[in-house]
Amino acid sequence: MRQIVVAFERQSNCDRLREVLESTGEFTCLICRSAGQVKRAVGKLGLNLVVCGFKLPDENCESLSYDLPRRCAMLMVARQAQLDLCTAAGVLKLPAPVGREALLASVRLLVQLTQARQAPAQRSRKEQELVERAKGLLMERGGMTEEEAHRFLQKRSMDRGARMADTARQVLDEMIPGRDA
């Protein structure tokens, strides 16, 4: 089952969407009532799909979309006039009131998009060697195990929305003074 953040100002909207999404057996919902809660859920739990209204008590959802990691997709469900105000790229918009099938089709589309974003790209031999060198240096100088070094590079890459080879290059540049790669 795929976990989705559902974030609306009104609890009744959260409950309605949760009911529709969870009734399929494909999704479980984590209800959030503020942008701060959404950010914490996405960050701590690694969630990558948010269904929300136009605004939350502490921030509008367009602003929230800019604060979410690149791996995270957003579906905004609101009146058409509100949707027209949102200019954030990458936010899928669905006019309310929304039917069950339109909602499910939109969420399934976003699931496909997030899976495509997360599909690991094949690294070239040179890139793989770069990653291995960075892991070796982290193990040697940082006292990490191989698994810890790999997770460090992975997490830093995800946090910055960068490829792992680019992150490895940055780590090598930071840890070896005067190095030009």
| 8-12, 38-42, 171-175: least confidently modelled range | 171-175
pTM exceeds 0.75 for this model: no
- 88 vs 34: which has the higher pLDDT: 34
Beta bridge partners of 91: 74
Q: How confident is the model at residue 160 (pLDDT cuts 50, 70, 90)?
A: confident
In this predicted structure, the answer to whether residue 86 has a pLDDT above a threshold of 70 is yes
**Mean pLDDT on 162-180:** 83
Q: Which of 15-19, 132-136, 155-159, 169-173 has the lowest mean pLDDT?
A: 155-159
Average pLDDT of the residues in 132-160: 90
Q: How many CA atoms lie within 13 A of 121 on its CB side?
A: 10
Res. 181 pLDDT band, cuts 50 70 90: very low
Q: Give the pLDDT confidence of 65-76 residue by residue, as tens digits.
A: 999 988 889 999
* Secondary structure (3-state) at 94: strand
DSSP state letter for 57: T
pLDDT at 123: 67
Gap between the Cα atoms of 19 and 10, Å rounded: 15
Cβ proximity of 172 and 130 under 8 Å: yes
